[in-house]
Structure 1
Amino acid sequence: MDNEINILNVPIHNITKIELLQRLGSEGGTVVTPNVDHLMKLQKDPEFYGIYQTSTYRVCDSKILIYASKFLGQPIQEKISGSDLFPAFYDYYKDNEKITIFLMGAAVGVAKRAQEKINAKVGREMIIESYSPPFDFEKDELECQRIVTRINESGATVLAIGVGAPKQEKWISKYRNQLKNVKVFLAIGATIDFEAGEKKRSPQWMSDIGIEWLHRLFSDPGRMWKRYLVDDLPFFWLLLLQKFKLYTPPFSTREEFVNWESPRLGQILNKAGLMSIEQVDQVLELQRQKPEKRFGEFVVELGWLEQETIDFFADCLTELGLSKHRHPLGYYLYKAKLLDEDQIDLILEEQKELNMRFGEIAVMKGWVKQQTLDTVLDYLSEEFKDSFVA
């Protein structure tokens, strides 16, 4: 088992960069890179915390965390920031034709420049595609699905995404099961800007002594002052509390996070008539035994629901009422894998003859339960409901 150093309730893997590179090539996995800012966000955001706990590797992105680990008497042996890991990764695997990378993030045109520069360095088309998504892209499900399709069609085996934390980690968590070819997921923050030459990294000596943050503050004070001078300062007080065993974690264990997240999904699936109370209880019991696994993973393994159905009710359902895009009800039932294309076509044909709503016909034929239909409609804003059910 890997040696882990716990700082403010976040277990950080105490491995070297070369060990990590070797494992990623042979085993794949998701890499997140905790720094002080991440640790402070993780004190408040249970979703982000859960994603961190289920990531494959959590490696130290900060010299300050190195100092903190020594202060706690459990020194982390090496700093592995995203902006160091990514160039090390593509250099290490530059001759491995099976490793191909989709680069996602930064402003328009920046990722493309990074792609060209990296490919010139390694001497092959290792970055096979790049994309700079629009602002707030993560709130647009259609845009996210276009990105998923684009990544899948590229054939990339690695996704390197730099859109800032916790956005990049949440996007990976939400869509990784749809990315069929990707084996390695790297959350790399501002690295794409550095690779493109859009922004300069701090001098090496500043990074070595742990004041890289000061360089970033002076380079972009309007954006960075609040992060470094307000949001992150409580870290040092919390660290002192941990040293003297007075720190109270916001989420004591992964199991406590499970208890926050899983009943909510179980309740939704039960309300939708897709799982019985007994099934929900059975999964929760399994999860108590293996808290590193998600509720939906057990449901899929047991063969009770498809992964697409879990993804829809876990991630997409609550966003329906907020979406700017309106789609027919069949679109959502298809997305949840509750109806197939043939069933949708047949319902649309019968609608012309029966003068009934789409959902009514789906229920009448026994393809969708009334409970399921009602649950989906409950999450739609009132002004859109009539058009969705028509």
Structure 2
Amino acid sequence: MINKIKKKIPVCAILGVNIAAVNMEWLMEFLVNNIKKLSGEYICVSNVHTTVTSYENSEYLNIQNGGLMALPDGGPLSSLGRKRGYSKMSRIAGPSLMNEIFAISEEKGYKHYFYGSTDETLKKIQVNLKRSYPEIQIVGMYSPPYRKISQSEDEIVVSQINDVKPDFVWVGLGAPKQEIWMNLHQGLIKGLMIGVGAGFDYYAGNIKRAPKWMQNFNLEWAYRLLQDPKRLFKRYLITNFKFIWLILINKKFK
């Protein structure tokens, strides 16, 4: 069943990663029509950093390609896809996807579980979402410890998640940790897992999203860099340069 569903998703291979050649309208229709069938699967929200990392790490590449789909969060990915003939492909940022799904959750009766970040951030998310969507169903939240959790601890958390039967399991551990976690729990979690990284911080109000004009010009990375230069400078400098080198100079078309 799930393989038939996956075959309906158009993809554009970029440095080996099968990036979904879709837009938000297509994705929302797809999710609404299939959400119950997608339980146990995961979606990666991919950008230049995760794509270059996948190119250099075959294990991580398999994780990116092993889920339901890898969405084009990075603007350069969707721009490149359009140049390769996928005219309707557009950027789908994690926070934007969250917003679209939250907006219809009261009507659809969707249940949400949040896995990741800190207790403080999770509490802020709950308060903010309840303020915007009073009837939204947040059925659980869990902030994992920074240490590696034992198998027995993990089994308890999985059981707790499955007991409340969420439709969406939002995973905010940051890349590559969140994708590794989702891959390890593929088929074990009852719900569709989506790795949204900084999406948790956006909805908690810890950081702000870039103005619309910066998002439209693929400059949201620069806005994030200004907010967290110490952590992001090296990542953006190295991976963005490698991406340009591989695509434009070495012409890695797949």
TM-score, structure 1 as length reference: 0.58
- Aligned in 2, Cα 1:6/1:242: closer, same or farther, shift over 3 Å? farther
Structure 2 counterpart of 1:10, from 12, 17, 23: 17
Tell me how far 1:73 sits from its aligned partner. 5.1
- Aligned in 2, Cα 1:47/1:140: closer, same or farther, shift over 3 Å? farther
Distance 1:145 1:216 in 2: 35
Which residue identity does 1:164 align to in structure 2?
G
- Aligned in 2, Cα 1:178/1:3: closer, same or farther, shift over 3 Å? closer
Structure 2 counterpart of 1:88, from 87, 92, 100: 100
Normalized per residue, the structure richer in helix is 1
Tell me how far 1:93 sits from its aligned partner. 2.7
Alignment partner, residue 5 of structure 2: none
Which residue identity does 1:143 align to in structure 2?
E
Counterpart check, 1:106 vs 2:117: yes
> Cα deviations across residues 101-133 of structure 1 (Å, max 9, x unaligned)?
101122222112202221332221421211222
Distance 1:124 1:226 in 2: 42
Structure 2 counterpart of 1:135, from 122, 146, 157: 146
Alignment partner, residue 135 of structure 2: 124
| Higher Cα Rg, which structure | 1
Distance 2:88 2:17 in 1: 13
Distance 2:133 2:204 in 1: 15
Structure 1 counterpart of 2:178, from 148, 160, 168: 168
Distance 1:158 1:120 in 2: 20
Within 5 Å, give how 1:378-389 maps onto structure 2: none
Within 5 Å, give how 1:293-332 maps onto structure 2: none
The number of residue pairs the alignment matches comes to 242
Which residue identity does 2:114 align to in structure 1?
L
Distance 1:176 1:104 in 2: 15
Which residue identity does 1:176 align to in structure 2?
Q
Alignment partner, residue 115 of structure 1: 126
Distance 1:57 1:159 in 2: 15
Tell me how far 1:136 sits from its aligned partner. 3.7
Distance 1:211 1:143 in 2: 40
Structure 1 counterpart of 2:30, from 23, 33, 38: 23
Which stretches in structure 1 are left out of the alignment for 5+ residues? 250-390
Higher relative contact order (CA 8 A, sep 6+): 2
Alignment partner, residue 156 of structure 1: 166
Within 5 Å, give how 1:237-252 maps onto structure 2: 237-241=245-249, 243=251, 247=252
8 Å contact kept, 2:207–2:227: no
> Cα deviations across residues 259-315 of structure 1 (Å, max 9, x unaligned)?
xxxxxxxxxxxxxxxxxxxxxxxxxxxxxxxxxxxxxxxxxxxxxxxxxxxxxxxxx
Normalized per residue, the structure richer in strand is 2
> Cα deviations across residues 204-259 of structure 1 (Å, max 9, x unaligned)?
2111111111111121111111101123311101112564xxx397xxxxxxxxxx
Within 5 Å, give how 1:194-213 maps onto structure 2: 194-213=202-221
Which residue identity does 1:127 align to in structure 2?
I
8 Å contact kept, 1:8–1:242: no
Over the matched positions of the two proteins, sequence identity in percent amounts to: 26
Which residue identity does 1:96 align to in structure 2?
K
- Aligned in 2, Cα 1:75/1:6: closer, same or farther, shift over 3 Å? farther
8 Å contact kept, 1:129–1:154: yes
Within 5 Å, give how 1:151-300 maps onto structure 2: 151-179=161-189, 181-182=190-191, 184-241=192-249, 243=251, 247=252
8 Å contact kept, 1:115–1:129: no
Q: CA RMSD in A?
A: 2.1
Distance 2:239 2:150 in 1: 28
